Structure 1
């Protein structure tokens, strides 16, 4: 396992970066930061640093989160845009800000998990950087509560409830159920309203999308995939209509995995 971890860490060390110092989302998306990418790298990066590198690079980890907060957060809603192009040249980006057009629920969810898991892994709990990261997580959770549907779930594009083909989406709602419940359990969120909202979210998913098919449990309402570009895929332009165009499926791992994580938190609470 250590050999595999070292290989992954070597990839992290060599990952190209934007002008601000953040990892590119992938090599095929040069100079771009997507919210999902923070979850892909940062919790692993922090845990490796803590266990095997004497935490020498944790300033880099904090800095990448702080850049996203500074650049990608919308001050009006407290939500975060899905993507950012530091060159401001890709077709889906605003030429002045470099930001994509909309908020996508699951990407904001992955960002919340990245914040939460990194906070819980970090070796310097209570430091200035840790407290700043905690405030970013708290602010995001407060903002998301404003957009929580009465069902407990959140919408695929969370700031346009019931607009057109918009729908209550399972994977992002499961992620936020997990983030709220675990955030409260681990003491990062201190107000019980977050735990209550997490329970409401999990129960709402069960009520709407958990069903039995031929004797087997099945979970519906999952957005299969969503992304931005590249240049050869102009359909993925970050518009509202684009996010509505991707398939909605049952039992995809990107929905089932977060649902199981949320259930684990819910089960501990209900015990």
Structure 2
């Protein structure tokens, strides 16, 4: 070998080794510490109490990290987040309004239950009761699907299953475990959403996945003539639903009736399709999955992180068989892309998380042009919280 070639190879190997050594031992810890350093996920927006579903998502990841590391600061951050939106009398403050009948706020409910179980403070049980009371009067379709919000009559969105049913499950498990009606209702929420939004064979751009939502009344501008579903598969909506499947399955008790077999059937239907929908070159997923490679479409980070979490967790807990390792391989490939492309080291030692779309809604026409026109954010908690969850699963491999 020529001396100069050997020198170049030695320098390259040294640089590569130093790069690997510079990476953190735990991306989960790095993500969590960075969110806390930025003052996110603690029930406050601009210093004012604010009920935000992304806080609930992050606090769930922080709880898992606390249980793994024993780092008291993580528990304290969760506690602060709950204290900031729960008054001493157990009322939920921070903009929560029962009469708006939104499912989104309920994602903070599992934090209330966890705090009650850890501290025994009655205010957290009462706050959980407030949310549970909403479900008793929340408007539904004739079939029983919760409306996503009062302002969207008869519409079920995939997002709402994660917001509502994870809390509904946790509450029933903690306080009402023998309520067969509740377990059947939770099952129905997943099943109705699946039946109305699953792409049927022969559909245009068929990936066998779930459209963003449906309108039972078929009156929305975007509602299809057959089942009233929206026109596209939006990555984060499907991500919420996938995370809800594995998170509910993890705690669904033996006496939950049809819940476990129903969710296992749905999960085993979707996981192989989701694996196959990844871009073959990068391993990532398109923002609008039904339009791969189309101009203005891009690889979006929050949905990808949610998929990694759900895929790895479904295999780890034995919900989905992976005899050839293709599901885990797909998740690992996507995780590698995420770390290389969306994790940004900062000079202060924190990391930033890039390429999370700020919003996706069905309040307009649900078109491809709508989704790709929405802004992309840096350090959006919906995305970095999902990356925390994905990292927790990846680090268990």
TM-score (norm 1): 0.92
Tell me the CA shift for residue 201 of structure 1.
Answer: 1.6
**Change in 2 beyond 3 A, CA 1:165/1:85:** same
Q: Distance in 2 between matches of 1:223 and 1:125?
A: 39
2:212/2:237 contact within 8 Å kept: yes
Q: Which runs of 5+ in 1 are unaligned?
A: 230-235
Tell me the CA shift for residue 55 of structure 1.
Answer: 3.6
Q: Which residue of 2 aligns with 1:130?
A: 260
Number of residues of Structure 1 aligned to a counterpart in Structure 2: 263
1:38/1:110 contact within 8 Å kept: yes
Q: Which residue of 1 aligns with 2:193?
A: 68
- Calculate the aligned-residue CA RMSD, in Å: 1.6
Tell me the CA shift for residue 8 of structure 1.
Answer: 1.2
Q: Which residue of 1 aligns with 2:214?
A: 84
The secondary structure found in structure 1 opposite 2:336 is helix
Matched, 1:246 2:379: no
Q: Which residue of 2 aligns with 1:232?
A: none
Tell me the CA shift for residue 14 of structure 1.
Answer: 1.6
TM-score (norm 2): 0.64
Deviations 1:42-67 (A, max 9, x none): 11111211221134110111112111
Q: Which residue of 2 aligns with 1:45?
A: 168
Q: Which residue of 2 aligns with 1:156?
A: 287
1:152/1:205 contact within 8 Å kept: no
Tell me the CA shift for residue 119 of structure 1.
Answer: 1.0
Q: Distance in 1 between matches of 2:159 and 2:138?
A: 16
Tell me the CA shift for residue 126 of structure 1.
Answer: 9.4
1:147/1:159 contact within 8 Å kept: no
Of Structure 1 and Structure 2, which has the larger fraction of its residues in helix?
2
What is the correspondence of 1:100-111 to structure 2 with a 5 Å cutoff?
100-111=230-241
Q: Which residue of 2 aligns with 1:9?
A: 132
Larger radius of gyration: 2
Deviations 1:149-200 (A, max 9, x none): 1312100011322111000000000000000111112121221322222222
The secondary structure found in structure 2 opposite 1:268 is coil
- From 340, 355, 359, the equivalent of 1:225 is 359
Q: Which residue of 1 aligns with 2:158?
A: 35
1:43/1:121 contact within 8 Å kept: no
Q: Which residue of 2 aligns with 1:206?
A: 339
The secondary structure found in structure 2 opposite 1:154 is coil
Q: Which residue of 2 aligns with 1:256?
A: 384
